[in-house]
Structure 1
Amino acid sequence: MADNKHMDEEMMDYEPIIVTFTDEAGNERHFAEEMRIPMNGEEYALLVGLNTEGDEDFDEEENVTIAKITKDEDGEDVYIVDFPEEEFDRVVEEYNRICDEMEAE
């Protein structure tokens, strides 16, 4: 029972990581980091789009992407969405494997 209380406290302290991308036209899109996916010494993030405009037609499932996480010169996380398709496909496979493991538990 104490474990559940500890987990509840951790979740209350959790602040989601919000990532903002700006396209060529200057439009901002905001995403919440849902989970990190470690793979082959690299780290990736599953990002879920946020409906910041109150768009009634917004579909969360259509606004999901994967970003590669690197570090800048200050050690801050940098999210990169342009990386090779083969690498993206391998990350999706790893994500699916992780989800399958979690379901099996």
Structure 2
Amino acid sequence: MAEHEELHDEDVIVVMTNEDGDERYYREEMIIPIGEDRFAVLIALTATSEEELENAEEGDEATIAKIVTDDDGEDIYTDPTDEEFDAVRRAYEEMLEEEEE
């Protein structure tokens, strides 16, 4: 699971913690709705701490997270199933192809 915070007026920064307790920072590139669910395309940032976010650059890594709303109305980012991941990847690729036309 991950939490998110606003870095600038527009950027949503998602902080994901791995099983070793290491935090990784991502910028939310876009939200892709599929059926009733929402998925975020997240781009890795070079920051290794909250203090470095202001000057962070985008890395080469991207990932997909499912957005679920908890009982308090907060968005929680979770791992999608393999089927959900494939559906989002296909939708994202179709969007990119449409932009190129």
TM-score, L = length of structure 2: 0.76
Aligned residue among 37, 40, 51 for 2:35: 40
Aligned residue among 68, 77, 80 for 1:79: 77
Within 2, Cα distance between the matches of 1:80 and 1:41? 16
Per-residue CA deviation, residues 57-98 of structure 1 (Å, 9 max, x unaligned), is: x9822x2100011101111111112x3212211110011111
Within 1, Cα distance between the matches of 2:36 and 2:67? 11
Structure 1: segments with no counterpart, 5+ residues: 1-12
**Percent of aligned positions that are identical:** 40
**Matched positions, count:** 87
> Given the alignment of the two structures, is residue 25 of structure 1 paired with residue 36 of structure 2, yes or no?
no
What is aligned with 1:10?
none
Q: Greater helix percent: which structure?
A: 1
TM-score, L = length of structure 1: 0.73
Structure with larger Rg:
1
- Give the letter aligned to residue 96 of structure 2: C
Secondary structure of the residue that 2:97 maps to in structure 1?
helix
Cα distance, 1:37 vs. partner? 0.7
> Given the alignment of the two structures, is residue 92 of structure 1 paired with residue 89 of structure 2, yes or no?
yes
Higher relative contact order (CA 8 A, sep 6+): 2
Q: Greater strand percent: which structure?
A: 2
RMSD: 2.1
